[in-house]
């Protein structure tokens, strides 16, 4: 009987260890980015295939969102800083007319590539219904990070670092 209890305890312990290892392995697996198509207001087209090898920051925003307006300059700054390292920023306006967006951009120019919601299927895929929403896709086409709500420069740098752009400690220096 004591040998049976010992064997049972060893088996149970071994099973728990295997379960823990399996759970931790799954939590680090990356999810492939959903298939998408997007067209900028200038007519430039993007898809999963065309962005392969780049880090993509999807910035879902609106003109009436105060946080979006505040963070637009940060997004554009990071776009400028990392574009030569393979960053592509697609700023997807959600739910507004092209006329409204163009008027806004005349007053608040952006360097990021602007995409209208009707010219992409991305807003529905990422359930962009609060703003801003950020999604980072790594060079291999996997979702490396995502965040709902404003994060400031340090937060955006942390998101990009998860896809290999910059260093996480850079975010702490801000």
CATH level 2 (architecture), domain 33-172: 3-Layer(aba) Sandwich (3.40)
Region for residue 66 given its phi and psi (left: phi exceeds 0; alpha: psi -120 to 50; beta: otherwise): alpha
Instruction: Check: CB of residue 62 under 8 Å from CB of residue 133.
Output: no
Look at 27 and 120; give whichever has higher pLDDT. Answer: 120
Which stretch of DSSP H or E encloses residue 155?
Answer: helix 152-161
pLDDT at 13: 45
pLDDT at 16: 38
Strand-pair partners of 64? none
pLDDT at 124: 80
Average pLDDT over residues 38-42: 94
pLDDT at 168: 62
Q: Which two tokens stand for residue 109?
A: 């120019």
pTM of the model: 0.79
pLDDT above 90 covers a percentage of the chain that reads 68
Region for residue 28 given its phi and psi (left: phi exceeds 0; alpha: psi -120 to 50; beta: otherwise): alpha
* Tens digits of residue pLDDT in 127-171: 888 899 999 999 999 999 999 999 899 999 999 999 999 876 554
CB atoms < 10 A from the CB of 87, how many?
A: 20
Look at 109 and 1; give whichever has higher pLDDT. Answer: 109
């Amino acid at each position: 009987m004591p040998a049976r209890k010992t064997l049972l305890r060893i088996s149970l312990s071994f099973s728990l260890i295997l379960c823990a290892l399996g759970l931790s392995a799954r939590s680090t697996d990356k999810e492939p980015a959903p298939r998408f198509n997007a067209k900028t207001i200038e007519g430039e087209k993007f898809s999963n295939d065309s962005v392969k090898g780049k880090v993509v920051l999807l910035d879902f925003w609106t003109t009436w969102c105060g946080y979006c307006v505040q963070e637009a300059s940060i997004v554009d700054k990071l776009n400028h800083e990392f574009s030569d390292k393979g960053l592509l920023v697609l700023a997807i306006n959600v739910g507004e007319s092209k006329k409204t967006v163009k008027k806004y951009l005349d007053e608040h120019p952006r360097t990021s590539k602007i995409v209208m919601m009707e010219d992409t299927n991305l807003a529905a895929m990422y359930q962009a219904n609060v703003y801003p929403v950020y999604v980072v896709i790594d060079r291999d086409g996997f979702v490396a990070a995502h965040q709902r709500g404003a994060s400031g420069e340090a937060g955006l740098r942390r998101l990009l670092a998860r896809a290999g752009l910059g260093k996480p400690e850079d975010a702490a220096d801000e």
